[in-house]
Structure 1
């Protein structure tokens, strides 16, 4: 068994491996901040995910495609679009990230739950499977999405019900 090195400089292979681990973590952070920004309607969080020249294409189903350009337009438009919903929740699974120097790609599958109205108002929820194909670039020390293609893969609709947690003996009054 090899003993861990202490105080020795990293080999070129170790240095490159560490660089890739850090880059993947930074890219995942951008992806997570994007989904947080959507659900929190946080324009600043969304803006920070994109380059100033970014391209965003949303293929939303039934042949409909909408395009936004630039971090400011993308962020403000997404916040406005999410405002149609009472609440949303975006979940992602294991992005596939490929890194070459200061450029990267990410391919992410996820699901989106989009609630149209309060349950007491006969609300309904759209549940969608989505895919995001991203190109990213490290600019001024930060990873930014430079191109995103969003595709809705499938969808089903459900009725929303008012949240309810049953009473717990000795806790609820």
Structure 2
């Protein structure tokens, strides 16, 4: 490829990876588990601080289906997707997002970052790994103080825990 073709291809790849992140969030919000399964490479992995992970698109979709059984409406809102290309078929990314989740009669709000690895399979970008890292989360009435606490992760019904990132208090 010429230099301009390489640069255009990189822009197209960046757009496809950003769309992959958004499609994943929308599929999560609308319980589209087929789209979730298809978003991962065959050996792709998903993990989240404090929650067991899964491997392979179908197992990941099943794990998310199980987690969502305790949720009502959810809204995943990505704010940025930072992408670094390793080579033409591999990249890493950091996706910053906010979550709004109805669970147990409570509205929960939080901030997370997804540490991603991407791989192009059969001409299509997919997640090779996705690791959700929680910054803070909790019921609306606790969000006002969650970032000023050593224990900013406050899932309803559970004990408050530390963030996956260092929090300055």
Indicate whether the TM-score tops 0.5: yes
Correspondence 1:14 to 2:1 = no
Deviation string, structure 1 residues 122-169 (Cα, Å, up to 9, x no partner): x2111010010100100101111011111111123126xxxxxxxxxx
Alignment of 1:2-151 (within 5 A): 12-59=2-49, 64-99=50-85, 100-117=87-104, 123-151=105-133
Measure how far apart 1:81 and its partner are: 0.9
Instruction: Using CA pairs under 8 Å that are at least 6 residues apart, name the structure with larger relative contact order, 1 or 2.
Output: 1
* SS of aligned partner of 1:41: coil
Measure how far apart 1:111 and its partner are: 0.6
Structure 2: gaps of 5 or more residues: 142-169
TM-score, length basis structure 1: 0.77
Equivalent position of 1:4 in the other structure: none
Rg: which structure is higher? 1
TM-score, length basis structure 2: 0.78
How many residues are matched? 140
> Any conservation in 2 of the 1:41–1:83 contact (CA below 8 Å)?
no
> Any conservation in 2 of the 1:42–1:79 contact (CA below 8 Å)?
no
Deviation string, structure 1 residues 75-131 (Cα, Å, up to 9, x no partner): 1111221121111000011210112210011101101001125xxxxx211101001
Measure how far apart 1:16 and its partner are: 1.1
